[in-house]
Amino acid sequence: MLDLTYDMPKPKIIAGAKHDWELVIGLEVHAQVSSNAKLFSGASTAFGAEPNSNVSFVDAAMPGMLPVINEYCVEQAVRTGLGLKADINLVSAFDRKNYFYPDLPQGYQISQLYHPIVGEGEVLVELGDGTARQVRIERIHLEQDAGKSIHDMDPHMSFVDLNRTGVALMEIVSRPDIRGPEEAAAYVTKLRQILRYLGTCDGNMQNGNMRADVNVSICLPGAYEKYQETQDFSHLGTRCEIKNMNSMRFIQAAIEIEARRQIAIVEAGGKVDQETRLYDPDKNETRSMRSKEEAHDYRYFPDPDLMPLEIEQGWVDDIQASLPELPDEKKSRFINDFSLSDYDASVLTAEAESAEYFESVAEGRDGKLAANWVINELFGRLKKDDLDITDSPVSPAQLGGIIELISAETISGKIAKDLFEIVFNEGGDPAVIVEERGMKQVTDTGAIEAALDQIIADNPAQVEKAKVNPKLAGWFVGQVMKATGGKANPKAVNQLVAQKLAQ
Amino acid sequence: MSDLNKLGLAEARDALRKGDVTSVDLTNACLSAIEAAGALNAFVHKTPEIALEQAKAADARIATGDAPAMCGLPLGIKDLFCTKGVASQAGSGILEGFKPEYESTVTQNLFDAGAVMLGKLNMDEFAMGSSNETSVYGNAVSPWRRGNDDAQLTPGGSSGGSASAVSADLCLAATGTDTGGSIRQPAAFTGITGIKPTYGRCSRWGVVAFASSLDQAGPMTKSVRDAAIMLETMCSHDPKDSTSVDMAVPNFEAMLTGDIKGKKIGIPREYRMDGMPAEIEKLWGDGADMLRAAGAEIVDISLPHTKYALPAYYVIAPAEASSNLARYDGVRYGHRAQLAQGDGITEMYEKTRAEGFGHEVQRRVMIGTYVLSAGFYDAYYNRARKVRTLIKKDFEDVFAAGIDAILTPATPSAAFGLGEMTDADPVQMYLNDVFTVTVNLAGLPGISVPTGLDAQGLPLGLQLIGRPWDEGDLLNTAFALETAAGFVAKPGKWW
pLDDT digits (tens, 9 = 90+) for A119-136: 999 999 999 888 999 999
- The 10s digit of each residue's pLDDT in B210-251 is 999 999 999 999 999 999 999 999 999 999 999 999 999 999
The answer on pLDDT for A24 being more than 90 is yes
Asked if A106 lies within 8 A of B349 by C-beta distance, the reply is no
Which of A487-491, B12-16, B42-46, B333-337 shows the lowest mean pLDDT across its residues? A487-491
Gap between the Cα atoms of B399 and B408, Å rounded: 15
Asked if A63 lies within 8 A of B381 by C-beta distance, the reply is no
Q: Specify the pLDDT at position A126.
A: 93
Residues 6+ apart with CB under 8 A from B257: B476, B479
Q: Across the strands, what pairs with B216?
A: B178
Q: Specify the pLDDT at position A3.
A: 61
The answer on pLDDT for A353 being more than 70 is yes
Residues of A in contact with B101 (CB under 8 A): 57, 62
Q: Specify the pLDDT at position A497.
A: 85
**pTM for this entry:** 0.92
| Residue tagged active-site, from B92, B135, B182, B203 | B182
Which of A169-183, A307-321, A473-487, B22-36 shows the lowest mean pLDDT across its residues? A473-487
**Could you tell me what percent of chain A has a pLDDT over 70?**
98
Residues 6+ apart with CB under 8 A from A370: A338, A358, A361, A362, A399, A400, A403
- The 10s digit of each residue's pLDDT in A261-286 is 999 999 999 999 999 999 999 999 99
Element (H, E) at A353: helix A352-362
Gap between the Cα atoms of B166 and B158, Å rounded: 14
CA B171, chain centre distance (Å): 15
Burial B56-85 (b: 16+ CB within 10 A, else e): bbbbebbeeeebebbbbbbbbbbbbbbbbe
The answer on pLDDT for B403 being more than 90 is yes
Report the DSSP pairing between strands B173-178 and A240-245.
unpaired
The answer on pLDDT for A349 being more than 70 is yes
Out of A61, A105, A305, the one facing B242 most closely (by C-beta) is A305
Dihedral class, residue A283 (left if φ above 0, else alpha if ψ from -120 to 50, else beta) = alpha
- The CA-based angle A482-A486-A490, given to 5 degrees, is 100
Q: What are phi and psi of B372, to 5 degrees?
A: -95, -5
- The 10s digit of each residue's pLDDT in A144-193 is 999 999 989 998 888 999 999 999 999 999 999 999 999 999 999 999 99
The answer on pLDDT for B1 being more than 60 is no
Domains of chain A in start order, with CATH, are: 18-293 (no CATH), 325-436 (no CATH), 445-502 (1.10.10.410)
Element (H, E) at A450: helix A445-458
| Residue tagged active-site, from B158, B162, B203, B236 | B158
Q: How far is A166 from chain B (nearest CA, A)?
A: 14
Kindly calculate the radius of gyration of chain A based on its CA atoms and give it in whole angstroms. 30
Average pLDDT, chain B: 97
Which amino acid is located at B438 in the chain? T
Which amino acid is located at B129 in the chain? G
**Could you tell me what percent of chain B has a pLDDT over 90?**
95
Region B283-297 average pLDDT: 98
**E strand spans, A42-105:** 91-92, 95-98
Residues A214/A25, Cβ–Cβ less than 8 Å? yes
Nearest to B90 by CA among B77, B101, B109, B103: B77
- The 10s digit of each residue's pLDDT in B23-78 is 999 999 999 999 999 999 999 999 999 999 999 999 999 999 989 999 999 999 99
- The 10s digit of each residue's pLDDT in B120-154 is 999 999 999 999 999 999 999 999 999 989 999 99
Report the DSSP pairing between strands B173-178 and B216-221.
antiparallel
Which amino acid is located at A446 in the chain? G
Region A84-90 average pLDDT: 98
Q: Is B158 annotated in the active site?
A: yes
Q: Specify the pLDDT at position A293.
A: 58
**Could you tell me what percent of chain A has a pLDDT over 90?**
79
Fold of B4-261: Amidase signature (AS) enzymes (3.90.1300)
Nearest to A308 by CA among A35, A140, A95: A95
Asked if B331 lies within 8 A of A100 by C-beta distance, the reply is no
Region B89-93 average pLDDT: 98
Gap between the Cα atoms of B292 and B272, Å rounded: 19
Asked if A299 lies within 8 A of B209 by C-beta distance, the reply is no
Q: Specify the pLDDT at position A396.
A: 97
Dihedral class, residue A387 (left if φ above 0, else alpha if ψ from -120 to 50, else beta) = beta
Average pLDDT, chain A: 93
Give the 3-state secondary structure of residue A7: strand
**Could you tell me what percent of chain B has a pLDDT over 70?**
100
Listed by number, the residues of chain A in 283-342 with a beta carbon closer than 8 Å to a beta carbon of chain B are 297, 299-301, 304-307
Q: Which residue of A has its CA nearest to B317?
A: A304
Asked if B323 lies within 8 A of A66 by C-beta distance, the reply is no
Structure-model confidence comparison of residues B422 and B89, the more confident one:
B89
- Confidence bin at A1 (pLDDT 50/70/90): very low
Q: Specify the pLDDT at position A155.
A: 87
Give the 3-state secondary structure of residue B409: strand
Please tell me if residue B456 touches chain A, with a CB cutoff of 8 Å: no
Residues of B in contact with A69 (CB under 8 A): 242
Q: Specify the pLDDT at position A4.
A: 63
Q: What are phi and psi of A114, to 5 degrees?
A: -85, -35
Residues of B in contact with A307 (CB under 8 A): 242-243
Q: Across the strands, what pairs with B264?
A: B297
The answer on pLDDT for A81 being more than 60 is yes
- The CA-based angle B390-B392-B395, given to 5 degrees, is 110
ipTM exceeds 0.90, yes or no: yes
| Residue tagged active-site, from B78, B120, B264, B351 | B78
The answer on pLDDT for A2 being more than 60 is no
- Which DSSP letter does residue B307 get? G
The answer on pLDDT for A292 being more than 70 is no
- Which DSSP letter does residue B75 get? E
